[in-house]
Amino acid sequence: MKKYILSILLIAVIALQSCKKDAAPKTNNGGGTDNGDGTIIAGTDPGIANTQGFFLDNWVAKTFTAPNTVNAAKPSASGAVSVTVDLSQVTTKVSKYLFGNNTNPYMGQYVTEPVLMGNLTALAPNILRAPGGSLSDIYFWNGDGSTVAAPADAPANLVDVTGASKPAGYWFGNNTQSWTFTVDNYYKVLQQTNSTGLIVVNYGYARYGTSDHPDQTAAHLAANWVRYDKGKTQYWDIGNENYGNWEAGYRIDRSLNKDGQPEYLTGTLYGTHFKVFADSMRKAAAEVGNTGIKIGAVLTSSNDVNNNAGVTNWNADVLKATGNSPDYFVVHNYYTPYNDNTTADVILATPSSQTTAMMSWVKTSVTNAGVTQKPVALDEWNIQATGSSQNVSNIAGLHAVMTLGEVLKSQFSMASRWDLANGWDSGNDQGMFNIGDEVGIAKWNPRPAFYYMYFFEKYFGDRMVSATTGTSSIACYGSSFSSGEAGVVLVNKANFDQVVTVTIKNFAAGTKYYYYTLNGGSDNAPFSHQVFVNGVGPANGTSGGPDTYAAIAASSASISGGITVNVPKYGAVFLVADKK
């Protein structure tokens, strides 16, 4: 009898083991999957890439807080596009400096503008560059334009690329008039928005200055700004796009020069001058206790073998001359063809291809020069399409989302969009906010790009993880939060709606997922001036998005049965799945 019972028990055990072996892989409420044996592979942080470096020193873990929600019906998953997010495959930690922007002094003394400051604080760019782009090379931070004007060795006229002599048009950091912006107010903006500064010093003065040693004079001016700064700013660029024939100092009047500089700037000369600046500024930083100062050198973002007349092989010559003295490398990218009436499809194709190519070019330049790879800062980016209001459109917002995703994938150290405010120019305005010249629209009204960047920053975790799809018309970027949630950003590059199902691997899913849907209006198709957030459009009915963006409830649905959302044509979804 005992033998008979034991035989039955043995058969039962074997049968149970067979059932376990043949069981289907387990799922977590339809949204996340383990590996079939009940285990979930935890993601492992990769080492910090040398293209990121110290910009990740201040990395901050993110805790997701569930928003107010409204229940949303799931669309049918029939024919849906599939997206897979894998939390075990970590691409990089997310630097808080990837959401930056550029200030400029022609915005006025905007620190006293509550609408702008409120939106800017909500945006949380974390890094704000100053004083501007090309005007940085004609900017005297300690002058006021009247009692303390340009130095005596700064000529009244400068030559342009054609050799024509024109008024210099200098800008001054202590000019308190309402149409410009002071250095002290810049520091106040940083404090009020909890942002870090990035300052561009005047390199052009090292070229057009008429002193016996203009490089030393210009470096001394920069060093004095470091002293005045008293450790408030860690990041400093030496000049702006100095390889370009549009920059002050690209070409000089040799009859006024006293140290034998060539008429046209070369990469070798810039690199030689860079070390003079860096030595003076580091000495000044040490005097005021700013031991963390970092100084960046200007490089090109694409092949410069046949660049502007007079400047070729910029990267090779700069890196040979600077050696390992730069702390980081500076590049800019405006993605679309210059002054071209570019289509939506072309615009939305550029973030992936151009970002990858840009980083590849910098790495190749560094390798060929035999120097050490340093962090790569993309401290100006935007599109430069014209003719159809592309810059102020919903499409520009989608481009911004994809650019943020791609700079993360390519492991840039930081990124700052150009710029907070500019000029309407018939809709060719690269400014994120209306500076006051868009007819019928309130001053400082945000453009669509503001809303897309706001929701990306809020709904993207502190780590980028793998996200893949089988169609080129949907761009996807996955993330995880240190608090345990999983996220994905979906961009529909097509001119038709698409339903997307999201599978999240190696994730213990909770009960709900939350999401915001952003898309343009029916005006000026496909370059709508409007953006709708979960169906809520601009209060003015014409331009921008809803004033109530921060209070709009998220859509919510059950993870059970799968994560499925509709992504509107030329729209985006920012989604977070709850943890168990």
Q: Are 280 and 219 in contact (CB under 8 A)?
A: yes
pLDDT at position 149 is 87
Residue linked to tokens 């005045």:
228
Distance CA 499, CA 559 (A): 16
Phi, psi at 222, each rounded to 5°: -65, -40
Distance CA 364, CA 360 (A): 6
Distance CA 417, CA 255 (A): 39
What are the beta bridge partners of residue 172?
140
3-state secondary structure 305-347: CCCCCCCCCHHHHHHHHHCCCCCEEEEEECCCCCCECCCHHHH
Q: Which of 92, 86, 91 is nearest to 35 (CA)?
A: 86
Task: Tell me the pLDDT band of 37, cut-offs 50, 70 and 90.
Answer: low
Average pLDDT, the chain: 93
Task: Tell me the pLDDT band of 309, cut-offs 50, 70 and 90.
Answer: low
Task: Tell me the pLDDT band of 303, cut-offs 50, 70 and 90.
Answer: confident
The average pLDDT across 537-550 equals 96
pLDDT at position 101 is 98
* Higher pLDDT, residue 563 or 9: 563
pLDDT at position 306 is 62
DSSP annotation of 185 reads: H
Least confidently predicted of 6-20, 29-43, 191-205, 270-284: 6-20
Residue 542: Cβ-neighbour burial (10 angstroms; 0-12, 13-18, 19+): middle
Distance CA 430, CA 449 (A): 10
pLDDT tens for 244-299 read 999 999 999 999 999 999 999 999 999 999 999 999 999 999 999 999 999 999 99
3-state secondary structure 190-215: HHHCCCEEEEEECCCHHHHCCCCCHH
What domains, with CATH codes, occur in the chain? 27-48+59-94+464-579 (2.60.40.1180), 130-321 (no CATH)
Task: Pull the structure tokens for residue 491.
Answer: 């961009």
pLDDT of 195 above 50? yes
DSSP annotation of 224 reads: H
Q: Cis bond leading into 131, ω under 30°?
A: yes
Task: Tell me the pLDDT band of 8, cut-offs 50, 70 and 90.
Answer: very low
On the CB side of 508, how many CA atoms lie within 13 Å of its CA? 10
Q: Residue 411 carries which side chain, given as an amino acid letter?
A: Q
Distance CA 388, CA 386 (A): 6
pLDDT tens for 225-240 read 999 999 999 999 999 9
pLDDT tens for 420-461 read 999 999 999 999 999 999 999 999 999 999 999 999 999 999
Task: Tell me the pLDDT band of 148, cut-offs 50, 70 and 90.
Answer: confident
Please, where are the H alpha helices in 124-242? 183-192, 205-208, 214-229
Q: Cis bond leading into 446, ω under 30°?
A: no
Q: Which of 577, 380, 544, 580 is nearest to 478 (CA)?
A: 577
Task: Pull the structure tokens for residue 262.
Answer: 């060539």
Task: Pull the structure tokens for residue 64.
Answer: 């997701």
The average pLDDT across 122-140 equals 97
Question: Over pLDDT 90: what percentage of the chain?
Answer: 90
Residue linked to tokens 């495959």:
89
pTM of the shown model: 0.93
The average pLDDT across 124-129 equals 97
Q: Are 367 and 44 in contact (CB under 8 A)?
A: no
Distance CA 389, CA 259 (A): 47
The average pLDDT across 128-154 equals 95
Instruction: Please compute Rg for the chain using Cα positions.
Output: 27
The average pLDDT across 6-28 equals 36
Distance CA 134, CA 244 (A): 10
Task: Tell me the pLDDT band of 304, cut-offs 50, 70 and 90.
Answer: confident
Distance CA 310, CA 328 (A): 25
Q: Are 86 and 478 in contact (CB under 8 A)?
A: yes
Question: Over pLDDT 70: what percentage of the chain?
Answer: 93
Task: Tell me the pLDDT band of 28, cut-offs 50, 70 and 90.
Answer: very low
Task: Tell me the pLDDT band of 39, cut-offs 50, 70 and 90.
Answer: confident
pLDDT at position 307 is 63
* Higher pLDDT, residue 3 or 163: 163
Pair type for strands 376-381 and 414-417: parallel
Task: Tell me the pLDDT band of 308, cut-offs 50, 70 and 90.
Answer: low
The average pLDDT across 378-382 equals 98
DSSP annotation of 536 reads: B
Map residue 565 onto helix, strand or coil.
strand
Q: Which of 103, 292, 291, 138 is nearest to 218 (CA)?
A: 138
Distances (CA, A) of 255 to 205, 215, 398: 16, 17, 50
pLDDT at position 21 is 35
